[in-house]
Structure 1
């Protein structure tokens, strides 16, 4: 079979490999299946294309436009994912592994599309936090905003997840309005190239939004500016080298790294053999050792268990690992495929040999194991290897050597403080897990290890049926870790989008800030219309449009009736003497919810109209009590508008209630769905 030429997509053109191309072998057979690399790529043209064409095109779109684009891209990949499955087998991955990589990447894109529509405005400006009042009378205010960087994101990805590794970075980058240049690891770049072709051929992306380097990136990093971002996944050694690129240091280029991680899993002292938690622990460790043949940045490398349970854990894991069928990943019977390459196999065996100087191998002999359906000498196959370290306090390699394959080490702990200390010996990891049903244990361990870990995963019999697993980074939650793990963050919902935006503190008058953010701020100009705002459709409502109601007097009878009708007979509403003894009240007062009910009655338009539903209220505060005889009036202002679908959008109203002295007694934000 003739090797496939894996192309790069640069400055709008597909460019084939040249004589400098590197050969890529199948992880199953060792045969050359592809070649990639072109030393003549014009990297400056690629950067210019992204900055001058891709960036402006993306920034012209709102967050909602970009979110709809991401959803359509995910749907297109979903419809064509079988092509990606078929290619991925040669990376050594099984069909179950494909579900993590391909389906996981597509699912992540769907999540960012959803979050873009639900949690971000239909705008190009994202407001970060509340408005800050910087002056006594509110004429000078401050607001943090996030805007798209006018540069380019360079994504340097690892070999183990050629689809998910790209999409988990690409989705928030595009949602932020920043073009990306994707550089996958050469060993599996043929899968990434296929995914990029699918996205480009869909016609859904603006020109220049996505480019691909299959092979080396030359001196691209030397040409980056303060408006660019590098997001890297790989080894700590490579990350350190890239961080020290003079242009990255001198220009303060944002550098996000996710690198080596000696992740740990701790068995709680309550999880004895025979318990649901003990069995769960064995299942989690076995799965993390063998999924993707252990080639996961979140895989469990250190197994930390009570001293009394060491033998039982070794026995249980050995039994479970013995059931793992190693072989051709295309076979349905195969539970674990090959490492990605012969070079990776050599590296894993070298690192395992280092661990063996401090620990005893208790399962898995790399010189004596069976591979079904393939030649283990030609493919990059290794068996799961389990070690036992009898003295983890004196050991060093077991805490700083990552064999990036199906290799893990069991070690005992004396007490919870010792368990936490061992977990922290990794000097920063992406994830640590704890299997326990004891909340006291969970709290103590979490507080002692959280500073060293980007994620703490706790599971037990209550949550195990729905939990996602120790090794599953979710788009909703932060993925990253301190120290050895790189000190960076990815994912985490909208947090990931903000990595590709600049947070800026903007100061000015309420009118100026409202104009910049597209959100009405108290003190900004208000408008009114002869027609009631509830009779006006979504598109006709203007930011700052305000309704002021006539006043209504609150009586003792109103308070008594509300109390009896609702059952809320709290003494402050019913007993004048008792209320006077309360430091917050001058005497008997109206219910806060009575005031809200009256307010609704004062501003609601009762006839059928474009307002479809009240979906809730936010930020409710009661500032001053209302006593019988006081009057209240309501001011209702359009604060923000967010389209939700083709039929209706969400209108956020600022509602304030004032008394007869114009003192504010309550405020909140009302959410309504209004027809287009």
Structure 2
């Protein structure tokens, strides 16, 4: 990075076109302090942009969850092929390639994760039945269920400067899967990297027009034009979040506002840990890594290192040794481990906070080290700094002031209760961690900290090899926290998708509710056919197709033979005297015999479209079945799930979920469960072309 970079002019993408300005805010390279970009949102009609998103969002809402997932996965592949372009711009932000990997490939990985979760956990529909069917009347003719449908507005996403790629994609992915268009507002300092990724997304043509808009520069009056169906997702400082969430228009229109704010995250070293234990070394490395990754500019970074008082000196010396290995300078160099803060202004803010922290804490690790490239004056470099607060239970600064850079404060403690209290003094955190191999200690600390944290990592010798670390949010889990951390959440698996949807309670008769949800509801009308349902292909089977089997009387021989076959000689089945004294007052058939007998009643023995039993769910035994009782089974198609044809597979398939009900001679329900079967289907437009000679 010794040549003058080209001046970039990141544009906004609104109402189907790119909009750039010659003049605007100048951004500077974080390493050498040279002009790198000019951004502006002047001339962008923000009210029109929101209206455009609401109108064109209809195309996105018409797609099913699975169609959106396929588009998201294709987009992830497209962006991954272009990742090197993003890594080059990443260097201008002051981040190393390793830091960029978390942002760039971590962000793209979030698209993959949400695509997989949607295909695995959501139906191939435009709506999501949520929870179980509730019986609202005594006779079962009046039932209710919740449905989730996409909000018909725009998800306005206001992002922080530290993760210009991941920060955008972590919000875009769940919104897109939910069927809600996004309007992205990146922080100005790194907006040029966000814009480069958005350019590729738009150029790919993989997302419906209007699914994604971008506003670089000042958001001006954006929040004034929000409506009731819109929502806001914010990532940034707690102070800014507190100001935005009480915007008059947001309050007046009850616009959902989700805040994920920077917090004073703590990591606790267990009281039981000794300097020679693996956990001691893991703790020191984790604190050092969180201090120096992204030059400490992470909302989840460790700001407070909570350590046993008798280990303070040992931890300080070990941290000093670990941090001495960190080389500082131009992130384009292979021998540099830590780059610069995002801007000189950001460095000045961190230095100012450091001055305030030193009123209650002393600096124990610091020192200016030689730069390996970069400009010490014009660049935004800051050396790692560790402070020690001797009386953290009475201090305020370490629990209220965040130096958003390579800074951490050591907080000594004497008891586990004190350690928990110290973590809570941060008034709510995104992430916390506990480093110990003592399970009882881990339990006490985790449960003590849980109410004030969004996520807690327990790190020890057993999970260290696979652990992603204290500060790594994962798409499957919550990324957010209470109190100072904003009270909201990003990611969180399918919960992140549901956040973008409206929940409505639908009340109807079972047949109508089945028609609306396209899932069989117990008590709804069924269709019986002369053709056995197991002789139908996936495409031929319809929800509500049903089979009522022949009857079978359970005999003593059935029970004895099943006990001999399985080795299950539980007294209620085989001991006449014990069974009479038990809760049933007689010998009863094994529950699993009933399931096996039911399978014998409804299975079609000859080869056909049904390839395999895929699983059994929601099993309940309701009434006992004794010797001489007669059972029969009703099998009804509950729902269908198309499976993608994977590489190497020749036969396209789908999963059919069947609802089974076993009743006795008095038509009383004795057992109920759901069966999943793997069934052949016809090829469709989403399948790859069949290889020559392959079977359809």
**TM-score when normalising by structure 2:** 0.96
Matched with 2:485 is: 485
Report the equivalent of 2:382. Answer: 382
Gaps of 5+ in 2: 646-651, 682-696
1:487-526 residue pairs with structure 2 within 5 A?
A: 487-526=487-526
Q: 1:72 aligns with which of 74, 79, 85?
A: 74
Q: Deviations over 1:229-251 (max 9, x none)?
A: 10000011211221121110000
Counterpart secondary structure, 1:274: coil
1:114-513 map, 5 Å: 114-365=116-367, 368-513=368-513
CA distance in structure 2 between the aligned counterparts of 1:590 and 1:417, rounded to whole angstroms: 53
Deviation at 1:18, TM superposition (A): 4.5
Count of paired positions: 671
The Cα offsets for residues 468-522 of structure 1, whole Å up to 9 and x where unpaired, read as 1000000000110001000001111100001100111111111222122111101
Q: 2:346 & 2:209 partners in 1: Cα distance? A: 37
Distance in structure 2 (CA, Å) of the matches to 1:536 and 1:8: 52
Identify the match of residue 33 of structure 1 among 33, 36, 39: 36
1:308-328 per-residue CA deviation (whole Å, 9 max, x = no partner) reads 111111111111001100111
In structure 2, what is the Cα distance between the partners aligned to 1:364 and 1:406? 10
State the match for 1:5 in structure 2: 9
Partner residue in 1 for 2:47: 44
Cα separation, 1, equivalents of 2:360 and 2:371 = 28
**2:662 aligns to what?**
657
SS across alignment from 2:372? coil
* Shift in Å, 1:218: 1.8
Deviations 1:199-227 (A, max 9, x none): 11111010111010111122111111111
Render the CA deviation track for 1:560-604: whole Å, top value 9, x for unaligned: 111111111111111011011112x13111111111111111111
Q: Is the 8 A contact 1:437 1:461 kept in 2?
A: yes
Q: Tell me how far 1:17 sits from its aligned partner.
A: 2.0
Whole-angstrom distance in 1 between the partners of 2:109 and 2:229: 29
Distance 1:438 1:131 in 2: 44
CA distance in 1, matches of 2:22, 2:504: 44
What is the Cα deviation at residue 139 of structure 1? 1.0
Measure how far apart 1:446 and its partner are: 1.5
User: Which residue, 635, 645, 648 being the options, matches 2:653?
Assistant: 648
Gaps of 5+ in 1: none
How far the C-alpha of 1:369 sits from its partner, in A, is: 2.4
Q: 4+ runs of 1 displaced by more than 4 Å?
A: none
Matched-pair contact (CA < 8 Å) for 1:277–1:460: yes
Aligned partners of 1:158 and 1:165 also within 8 Å: yes
- The answer to whether the 8 Å contact 1:362/1:388 transfers is yes
1:631 is aligned to 2:630: yes
- Secondary structure of the residue aligned to 2:611 is strand
Q: What whole-Å deviation, never above 9, does each CA across 1:618-667 have from its counterpart, x for those lacking one? A: 11000111111111100000001111114111111100000111111100
Q: Retained in 2: the 8 A contact 1:225–1:251?
A: yes
Deviations 1:27-61 (A, max 9, x none): 011000111112221111111110001x1010110
Cα distance in structure 1, aligned partners of 2:43 and 2:306: 50
**2:407 and 2:516 mapped to 1: Cα distance?**
54
Indicate the residue corresponding to 1:588 in structure 2.
Answer: 587
Aligned-partner SS, 1:130: strand
Matched-pair contact (CA < 8 Å) for 1:263–1:430: yes
The whole-number CA distance in structure 2 between the counterparts of 1:512 and 1:384 is 64
Question: Is contact 2:284-2:315 (8 Å) kept?
Answer: yes
For the 8 Å contact 1:18–1:39, the answer to whether it is kept is: no
2:9/2:22 contact within 8 Å kept: no
1:55-97 CA deviation, whole Å, 9 max, x = no partner?
A: 1010110000001111001111111111111111000010100
Q: What secondary structure, in the 3-state scheme, does the structure 2 residue paired with 1:590 have? A: coil
2:671 corresponding residue in structure 1: 666
| Secondary structure, counterpart of 1:673 in structure 2 | strand
Q: Is the 8 A contact 1:141 1:509 kept in 2?
A: yes
Q: Deviations over 1:143-185 (max 9, x none)?
A: 0111000000000000000000000000000000000000111
Cα distance between partner residues in 1 of 2:582 and 2:26: 81
- Using the TM superposition, give the Cα deviation of residue 542 of structure 1 relative to its aligned residue in structure 2, in angstroms: 0.8
Q: Is the 8 A contact 2:262 2:300 kept in 1?
A: no
CA distance in 2, matches of 1:79, 1:608: 44
Q: Quote the Cα distance in structure 1 between the aligned partners of 2:638 and 2:486.
A: 41
Q: Provide the residue aligned with 1:598 in structure 2.
A: 597
CA distance in 2, matches of 1:388, 1:617: 57
Shift in Å, 1:614: 0.8
Deviates more, 1:638-647 or 1:423-432: 638-647
Contact 2:33 2:375 in 1 (8 A): no
Q: Once the 2 structures are TM-superposed, how far is the Cα of residue 294 of structure 1 from its aligned partner? A: 0.3
How far did residue 340 of structure 1 move? 0.4
Check the 8 A contact 1:18/1:38 in 2, yes or no. no
Secondary structure (helix, strand or coil) at the match of 1:331 reads coil
CA–CA distance in 1 between the matches of 2:606 and 2:477? 44
* 3-state secondary structure, aligned to 1:638: strand
Aligned mates of 2:373, 2:442 — CA distance in 1:
44
Within 5 Å, which residues of 2 pair with 1:9-28? 9-19=13-23, 21-28=24-31
Local SS of the residue matching 1:204: coil
> So what's the TM-score if we normalise by structure 1?
0.98
- 2: CA distance, partners of 1:74 / 1:67: 10
Alpha carbons 1:571, 1:578 under 8 Å: kept:
yes
Equivalent-residue separation in structure 2 for 1:447 and 1:78 (angstroms): 40
